[in-house]
Structure 1
Amino acid sequence: MNRRELVKAGVMVGAAGLVGPRVLAEGDAPMATTKHGLVRGYWSRIAGAPGTYAGKVAAFKGIPYGMDTRLTRFAAPKEPVRWTEPKSCVEWAARAPQTVGARPEYESAKAREAAEARPGYHLPADEGPQSEDCLHVNVWTPGLRGHKKRPVMFYIHGGAFANGTANAALYDGTRLARRGDVVVVTVNHRLNSFGYGYFAELLPGMGFEDSGNAGQLDLVLALRWVRENIAEFGGDAERVMIFGQSGGGAKCATLMAQPPAKGLFHRVLSMSGQQVVGVQPGHATARAQVLLKKLGLDAAKPEVAAKGLRSATMEAIQQATHGAGYFGPVKDGRSLPVDPFEPTDPQQSVDVPMVLGNTHDETRVLIGGGNPALFDLTWETLPAALEKGAPFLKSPTVSLPVDQVIAKYREWNPGYSASDVFFAVTTDSRSWRGEVIEADQRARDVKAQPRTWVYQLNWKSGVDGGKWGAPHTLDIPLAFDNCGASPGMVGNSPADQARAQKMADIVSPMYIAFARTGNPNVKELPEWPAFSLEKRATMILDLPPRVEDDPRGRERRYLGQVPYVQPGS
């Protein structure tokens, strides 16, 4: 991209002067030498920002860390082939194939603009074409090379294990890198059946031994890329924090139990994403069998089926994946030999500092985002809604009667409406339980306990007059300090933006401090004790922030009567 093209590509995002990572044409483009060849990036700066954000950031989008996975389909990834000419890394590269029908596609700038303009809580639109050639990292750094070694913040996107990408304005690392003097890395990797379809037992000896965790092994390869290359980008390979939201947090938890990942990261921060156990091989095999059948392949003819899997089009596999069931990391006895947090925390990671966080109102977006009627429930319609929407109140051995659950929550929260009770019950029983289990496991280990902290985001989004509360995903723009790029998440009015920025000015420094030191305590917060079973100290992220011992303790004890079942396992 030449100087004229850089100027033409310059953009500002969000409220005037507040965020605006923009492409700059001044000076020569930043160049970095990676193990596989030279990469050319661009300069990014916060428009009109003083003090904290002064100065430009070197940005690189779409650096290959692995070869086209079309060539390693359903197998462990391989390093990319070296290139000889400088590779231009100034635009989003391809994202992984998505699950058909799971989220909208935006095929034009006009469609993306329409998505951003629509009312209601929403994330910025994903960008980039879909392709199996999806193993790329994006890097933002305040300075290349030199003697300074900055902490590395390695972000893994959400979307469960099925969808999503790092290619969005929400994850632009310009502000975070400049604010914290850190190196920000975001990553794309294989998803759904491409990353987690388990064919090892159906097609033994056919080269699919690692198929159930190919997506996780992509992340391992990306972390190895960081270890081998990040010094060139001004980063410290011995201070790598992995953090992720929702499915990204679950991927972090899984990496904590994977021997190939040991030593590649040094702090973990999980945002509304837990993975207590892996998928059992029998269940994973049954789903793979469904996928084979939908592709017209027969496991009884392994050589033919293997050839068919490798030769099928990406689109055919996407169609077959739709409706075949859940695809997630498999306890395969190889790269995931144990469950991440059951029955104990992963022993290989007990000395790795960890922060676990959840939002107060996870399901207002997770469930309510696709069903507006849930915001208008009555006490008469609430029981049926919970019977359908709260399956985690039941197990083969213990079940909590819906009428009793409603009575308990009304007693504890007399000001709640019927919809408030629905979202509280579904948040506590579905989204929060996994965090409770992981934090408890860490607290029981004498090595892990003093290195574990828990937060709860109570700060409410300004979108739709506060209707969404503190929903799933709300901590992302606060952590990345990208409120202006996320009006559909935090609110678009000047008052909403100013209020959100106050919250980001608390949350983002905490994330940065944890990456730098392995301790999340900062001057913007009151003293934050490590989590223990005796007090269950939890940082309540709000304006102002505060520490509470065992928030939602009654709910924890009550819902804890029902054995927890990891979704999809």
Structure 2
Amino acid sequence: MSILAVVTALALSIIPADDRPTVPTQQGAVQGVQDGGVAAFKGIPYAAPPVGPLRWRPPQPVQPWTETRAADHVGAICIQPPANGDNAVGPGPMSEDCLTLNVWAPSGAREPLPVMFWVHGGGYVNGSGTADLYDGSSLARRGVVVVTINYRLGRLGFFDHPALAADRPADEPAGNYGVMDMIAAMKWVHANIDRFGGDAGDVTIFGESAGGVAISQLMLAPDARGLFTKAIIQSGVPQGPTSRLDVATPSGPPLAERGAAFAALKGVPADGSAEALRAIPGEALLEPAPNFGGGDLVIADGRVVPTSIEDGFARGLQAPVPLIVGTNSNEFPWARADTNPMAQALAPAERAALVAAYDDEDDFQGRFISDVMFNGPARWLARAHAAAGNPTWLYSFDAWPDAMPQPHRGAWHAQERQYVFDTLKTSPWPTTARDEAVAQVTSDYWATFARTGVPAVDQQPTWPAFGAGEEQALVFHNDGVAVEPVPGVARLDLIDALLDRLKTAGLR
């Protein structure tokens, strides 16, 4: 890079420390707000509204604007069903016109800063990047630029139908519109983030639950290659086959076949028109609800999502970037083991051995699904990524607010998000100094990894790389962090053997 280019980049990257900073993006100027040394720019469109003829099409470029655009409030959340009070959904209204992102950047930075790009969870049917839980201010104060995004959800984000296939160009990708949105937002960051003080060549993608699954898939996606340099997967590593666009798999029929069956319920036959499909009101696409576990959503299309996560990582096809991966200690304690097909497939001797690896029958019932869906797959992916020669770190999150009442107490699914973002103020329970200390150190580890590629925090335990000798994890407890052997290793080994048996038998 020439000296002039460096000077120009630095000039663009300095956000003035005034109350209403303005940044010239490639599409037009945006004006945000500054508070406490962090400039926030909200509701910035990164793609054209996916409405009318653009519904069920890959994201298209947004139309430029000439007047400075107010970026002081979040955009609409994508259409989704009620979320039972989940604080990760964000404020309304809902709309199909929802492809926006939010940026938090330290004011007055004198050099380009690393970027943290967040993909929210919610089973690919709920959530948004607009929720207060994902306010990026605290992370940004740790010397990074934070980006959160919305992407299309449910059947608006993951859908196909014979009429759509007949209507689209032969070379146009289909089905995974929500994943295409994520990649479009990453490309927007690559083109524009230098103007907000970010370094487009130093981007950490991170996400939780379905967002963690998305990070795993983006690590395999050819169109995302080169758009990120590090990754963090929080509670999002499924093992097993992925549904396909055009053929049946153990996950279910092809996506187009499922789409035709659904559209028939809405009065559009399999030989109907794309126009008729696009005329269905967005809210009408919510019922009956799509089945995340049954493969109604993300598919392996051979292009955007080339293969399943398990197959891709086993073959070393993922991006060779530093990775943090982990889970919470008891993701789904309310989900009983005997309701799970994996537990139902246990031979009597397998079941007896597994129960013996837990504290008792009740512990097995409460922890098996967490182990088979989260803890075991996270260890498997850490092994696969490290075996390919990539720096890898494994964690287990075992902390929760001191004021959390029974029967809720525990590090259940999604509990770590408010610690990662250091936004415990959004918790429904009052927080203590001990809670805040755990949030501070968690956020410090994440931000330091984004800045340096190594999760090292002063005066905290050295987090050992996974695969270098004994398998260890960094465990986040209520009273601090500690390096420990991988939790529950005996039961995870038994679950691995079960999964291998079922795979060999063609049952998963």
TM-score range, shorter chain: 0.7 to 0.9
Change (3 A) 1:155 1:344: closer
1:188 lines up with 2:150 in the alignment: yes
Specify the code of the residue in structure 1 equivalent to 2:64.
Answer: R
1:88 lines up with 2:50 in the alignment: no
What is the CA-CA distance between 1:433 and the residue it aligns to? 2.8
Q: What is the match of residue 544 of structure 1? A: 480
In the TM superposition, 1:299-310 aligns within 5 A as 299=270, 301=271, 304-310=272-278
Instruction: Determine the C-alpha separation between the residues in 1 that align with 2:358 and 2:482.
Output: 20
Instruction: Determine the C-alpha separation between the residues in 2 that align with 1:345 and 1:213.
Output: 22
Give CA deviations for 1:332-387 in whole Å, capped at 9, x if unaligned: 122222223315347453421111010001003xx46xxxxxxxxxxxxxxxx532
Give CA deviations for 1:511-568 in whole Å, capped at 9, x if unaligned: 00111111112224322221118522211112232212332111111112222789xx
Instruction: Determine the C-alpha separation between the residues in 1 that align with 2:65 and 2:350.
Output: 64
Q: What is the match of residue 292 of structure 1? A: 263
Give CA deviations for 1:133-160 in whole Å, capped at 9, x if unaligned: 111000111126x641111011110101
Instruction: Determine the C-alpha separation between the residues in 1 that align with 2:486 and 2:89.
Output: 36
Q: Is the contact made by 1:484 and 1:497 (CA closer than 8 Å) also made in structure 2?
A: no
Change (3 A) 1:471 1:73: same
1:253 match: secondary structure: helix
Q: What is the match of residue 212 of structure 1? A: 175
Instruction: Determine the C-alpha separation between the residues in 2 that align with 1:123 and 1:318.
Output: 20
Give CA deviations for 1:33-73 in whole Å, capped at 9, x if unaligned: 1111111111223xxxxxxxxxx211111000001011421
1:30 lines up with 2:21 in the alignment: yes
In structure 1, stretches of 5+ residues that fail to align are: 1-25, 46-55, 105-114, 116-121, 369-384
2:480 match: secondary structure: coil
Q: What is the match of residue 455 of structure 1? A: 395
| Match of residue 161, structure 1, among 115, 118, 124 | 124
- Give the superposed CA RMSD: 2.6
In the TM superposition, 1:123-142 aligns within 5 A as 123=87, 126-142=90-106
Q: What is the match of residue 471 of structure 1? A: 412
Q: What is the match of residue 435 of structure 1? A: 378
Specify the code of the residue in structure 2 equivalent to 1:546.
Answer: A
1:464 match: secondary structure: coil
1:354 lines up with 2:316 in the alignment: no
Instruction: Determine the C-alpha separation between the residues in 1 that align with 2:295 and 2:242.
Output: 12
What is the CA-CA distance between 1:290 and the residue it aligns to? 2.0
In the TM superposition, 1:162-561 aligns within 5 A as 162-178=125-141, 180-199=142-161, 203-207=164-168, 209-276=172-239, 277-281=241-245, 282=247, 283=253, 284-299=255-270, 301=271, 304-319=272-287, 321=289, 326-342=295-311, 344-345=313-314, 347-364=316-333, 367=334, 385-388=336-339, 390-395=340-345, 399-401=346-348, 405=351, 408-409=354-355, 411-414=356-359, 418=362, 420-445=363-388, 447-448=389-390, 451-462=391-402, 463-465=404-406, 467-486=408-427, 488=428, 491-492=429-430, 496-532=431-467, 535-542=470-477, 543-561=479-497
Q: Is the contact made by 1:58 and 1:141 (CA closer than 8 Å) also made in structure 2?
A: yes
| Match of residue 33, structure 2, among 42, 58, 61 | 42
2:129 match: secondary structure: coil
Instruction: Determine the C-alpha separation between the residues in 1 that align with 2:189 and 2:89.
Output: 27
1:194 match: secondary structure: helix
Q: What is the match of residue 7 of structure 2? A: none
Q: What is the match of residue 40 of structure 2? A: 59
In the TM superposition, 1:3-22 aligns within 5 A as none
Q: Is the contact made by 2:338 and 2:344 (CA closer than 8 Å) also made in structure 1?
A: no
Change (3 A) 1:437 1:153: same
Q: Is the contact made by 1:294 and 1:320 (CA closer than 8 Å) also made in structure 2?
A: no
Change (3 A) 1:321 1:458: closer
Q: What is the match of residue 108 of structure 1? A: none
Q: Is the contact made by 1:400 and 1:562 (CA closer than 8 Å) also made in structure 2?
A: no
Instruction: Determine the C-alpha separation between the residues in 2 that align with 1:430 and 1:273.
Output: 9
Change (3 A) 1:34 1:327: farther
2:462 match: secondary structure: coil
What is the CA-CA distance between 1:203 and the residue it aligns to? 4.6
Instruction: Determine the C-alpha separation between the residues in 1 that align with 2:105 and 2:456.
Output: 24
1:270 match: secondary structure: strand
1:563 match: secondary structure: helix
1:556 match: secondary structure: helix
Specify the code of the residue in structure 1 equivalent to 2:452.
Answer: T
What is the CA-CA distance between 1:274 and the residue it aligns to? 1.6
How many matched pairs?
Answer: 473
Instruction: Determine the C-alpha separation between the residues in 2 that align with 1:425 and 1:339.
Output: 23
1:78 match: secondary structure: coil
Question: Percent sequence identity over matched residues?
Answer: 30
Change (3 A) 1:211 1:468: farther
Q: What is the match of residue 119 of structure 1? A: none
Q: Is the contact made by 2:220 and 2:319 (CA closer than 8 Å) also made in structure 1?
A: no
Q: Is the contact made by 1:256 and 1:340 (CA closer than 8 Å) also made in structure 2?
A: no
Q: What is the match of residue 11 of structure 1? A: none
1:506 match: secondary structure: helix
